[in-house]
Amino acid sequence: MNTKYIFITGGVVSSLGKGIIAASLAKLLQSRGLRVTIQKFDPYINIDPGTLNPYEHGECFVTDDGTETDLDLGHYERFLGVPTSRASNVTTGKIYYTVITREREGAYLGKTVQIIPHITDEIKRRMTLLGKSGDYDVVITEIGGTVGDMESQPFIEAVRQLQWELPEEDFVSVHLTLVPFLNAAKELKTKPTQHSVQMLQQAGVHPDIIVCRTEHPLSEDIRRKVALFCNVKPGHVIQSLDAWSIYQVPLNMHEEHLDDLVIRKFQIENFEQPRLDGWRRFLDRLQNPRQETDIALVGKYVALQDAYKSILEAFVHAGASLETKVNVHPVLSETITSETAPELLKGMDGILVAPGFGSRGLEGKIEAVRYAREHGIPFLGICLGMQMCVVEFARNILGYPDADSTEVRPDTAHPVIDLMEEQKGLKEKGGTMRLGAYECELKEGSLARRIYGTDRISERHRHRYEFNPVYAGEMEEAGLRASGHNPGTGLVEIVEIQAHPFFIGVQFHPEYKSTPERPHPLFVSLISAAVGQRKNRK
Ligand code: GLN
């Protein structure tokens, strides 16, 4: 069988959840025995989102192979349970960079380098790259942005060309639109969808399937109307109603026959019925919790849900596995002081201090660590959160009041967190952190070892600073133990306090690897400890 390609575009407005529709379709096809992968093409000029503020673009997701990517790749991994890679996220910046580098090398000698064909050829090369590897039956490509945006035009043009270059049965175009409900008229309106599809067709792309995001069910009449005006069969207009959980969407899409329509167009024979038992079990536990727990999420980007996407999802997975509803309470780190901490963190069964960069809110993070340590509240610190455990301990237990990370105070007399050796002398900011998966050895008898149930793990990183090993002995003697190390370099990856019900800080990002079907052990054990804490309190 040839590799099959699905292209997903969006219209009317952004934030319709194209990533979730793409991931849901991928999940359904995977559950029917096909080898599926997803990739995202983003129309911005940054090479990757690594240098973007989370308030601009949400969380930056990191792959095993050390690429900083769009947060939709997190959804792809969580739904499919298979890792993505550097090939899975392409930006306009990457496309132009490749073409311009080639131009300087002389690859186009004598020719004028143009959007068509040079840019579109490079886009098409990347769109079909994973398909040519032979590893996948189906490659789903999500095009970021909205049809009609000036900046996404070369991507749409590349899809138009592929529509004719690929055999008809190897190409499916899905267009996601909004059918708004007008409260005053008590009516669903199809005009925005008609306009959006017209725009797509003017660009030469004909959608095979139109998925309509809607708050109310689409009547047969509405479906027929969309079909008539948009030039597709009525059965190819499907509804995507607001769902109670993003993880319910694959099941909703199956009920609407999205996967059946795709399989029919692809002329795939011998396909299986979807096997989604594990997924349904997860949803069942998520929907019917037996207990609940309150967790504080301490960070500086808490006003935007997407900034901590993977952490929030990891709580959902861990909570479901323990049939526990996890109420996550965002706490803005800069509001926490020794005076406000008791009020802001009162009643919390667990505290998570989030990753981050720069000095804003750092003192608040340190106070949150202190509050958790002194009050025996289950605690997980991630990346910057782990580094602040070390600073807090140095200040308040070792008695070095000026202890700090050199990220914020380069001239401190006690640099307990310091720039990694390989980072010294680096000038460029983009893509130069310690990124991607590294192995970590867990100490015998440690909390970390108990949590993971193994002595060697692999987790993903994104940082420049590290625990300064000069202080390791002193810290350990006073009760903060380094319990995980990189086997090659000896870098400290995990710290923990054994004389505490549950206190652990990790230099890596466990949240990137949590999925509904494989909740992350660190999150599961944090929730489990938090539930215990709640019972003790009562
Ligand atoms: N700013 C810290 C560092 O670069 C932590 C990074 C993070 O939390 N991802 O080491």
Catalytic position from the list 212, 383, 389, 440: 383
pLDDT at residue 209, rounded to an integer: 97
- Is this prediction's pTM over 0.85? yes
Centre of ligand 1 from the C-alpha of residue 505, in Å: 13
Catalytic residue among 254, 414, 509, 520: 509
Among residues 78, 73, 50, the alpha carbon closest in space to that of 63 is found at 73
pLDDT for the residue 427: 84
- In three-state secondary structure terms, 445 is coil
Q: How confident is the model at residue 51 (pLDDT cuts 50, 70, 90)?
A: confident
Residue 347, C-beta contacts closer than 8 angstroms, at least 6 positions apart: 294
**Residues 218-230: pLDDT tens digits?**
999 999 999 999 9
Residue 384 alpha carbon to ligand 1 centre in Å: 5
Q: What pLDDT sits at residue 506?
A: 98
Task: Tell me which amino acid residue 59 is.
Answer: E
- For the CA of 355, the closest atom of ligand 1 is 8
Write down the pLDDT at residue 413: 96
Say if strands 404-405 and 492-497 run parallel, antiparallel, or are unpaired: unpaired
Centre of ligand 1 to C-alpha 406, Å, is 12
Mean pLDDT calculated for residue range 293-300: 97
Question: Which residues make Cβ contacts (< 8 Å) with residue 473, sequence separation at least 6?
Answer: none
Distance 112 CA to ligand 1 centre (A): 44
Q: Could you read off the pLDDT of 334-368 as tens digits, one per residue? A: 999 999 999 999 999 999 999 999 889 999 999 99
Does the structure show a pLDDT above 90 at 269?
A: no
User: Which residue lies with its CA nearest to atom 3 of ligand 1?
Assistant: 463
Is 509 known to be catalytic? Answer: yes
pLDDT tens digits along 360-397: 999 999 999 999 999 999 999 999 999 999 999 999 99
pLDDT of residue 428: 86
Provide the b/e sequence for 150-176 (b: ≥16 CB within 10 Å): eebbbbbbbbbbbbeebeeebbbbbbb
Asked if 491 contacts 292 with a C-beta cutoff of 8 angstroms, the reply is no
Share of the chain above pLDDT 90, in %: 90
Higher confidence at residue 105 or residue 273?
105
- Sheet containing 480-485, strands listed edge to edge, beginning at the edge strand earlier in sequence: 324-332, 291-299, 350-353, 379-382, 503-506, 492-497, 480-485, 434-442, 456-463
CA–CA gap between residue 463 and residue 466 (Å, rounded): 8
Confidence grade of residue 411 (pLDDT, cut at 50, 70, 90): very high
Instruction: Decide if pLDDT at 440 tops 90.
Output: yes
Mean pLDDT of 138-161: 96
Categorize the per-residue pLDDT at 15 as very low, low, confident or very high, splitting at 50, 70 and 90.
confident
Amino acid at 270: N
Q: What's the gap in Å between 464 CA and the centre of ligand 1? A: 6
Please confirm, yes or no, whether 511 is among the known catalytic residues. yes
pLDDT greater at residue 118 or residue 13: 118
Q: Summarize pLDDT for 177-224 with one digit per residue, the tens.
A: 999 999 998 999 999 999 999 999 999 999 999 999 999 999 999 999
pLDDT band at residue 249 under the 50/70/90 scheme:
very high
How many residues does this entry show for the chain?
Answer: 538
Mean pLDDT, rounded, for 113-125: 97
Distance 15 CA to ligand 1 centre (A): 28
Specify the ligand 1 atom closest to the Cα of 417. Answer: 10
Contact indicator for 424, 482 with CB cutoff of 8 Å: no
Please report the atom of ligand 1 found closest to the CA of residue 356: 8
- Is the pLDDT at 447 greater than 90? The verdict is yes
Q: Name the band, by pLDDT with cuts 50, 70 and 90, for residue 14.
A: confident
For ligand 1, residues with CB inside 6 Å are 355-357, 383-384, 407, 462-465
pLDDT of residue 298: 97
Whole-number mean pLDDT of the chain?
95
Smallest CA-to-CA distance from 69 within 103, 98, 105, 39 is with 39
Q: Which of 357, 420, 508 to mutate to test the pocket of ligand 1 (most atoms within 8 A of CB)?
A: 357
Q: For 77-98, write each residue's pLDDT tens digit.
A: 999 999 999 999 999 999 999 9
- Catalytic pick among 459, 461, 511, 520: 511
Q: Is the pLDDT of residue 535 over 90?
A: no
Q: How confident is the model at residue 31 (pLDDT cuts 50, 70, 90)?
A: very high
Nearest CA owner, ligand 1 atom 5? 384
Query: Which residue CA neighbors atom 8 of ligand 1 most closely?
Result: 355
Rounded average pLDDT over 160-181: 97
The residue whose CB lies within 8 Å of the most ligand 1 atoms, and thus the one to mutate among 382, 464, 509, is 464
pLDDT tens sequence across 317-332: 999 999 999 999 999 9
Residue 401: exposure state from Cβ atoms within 10 A (0-12, 13-18, ≥19): exposed
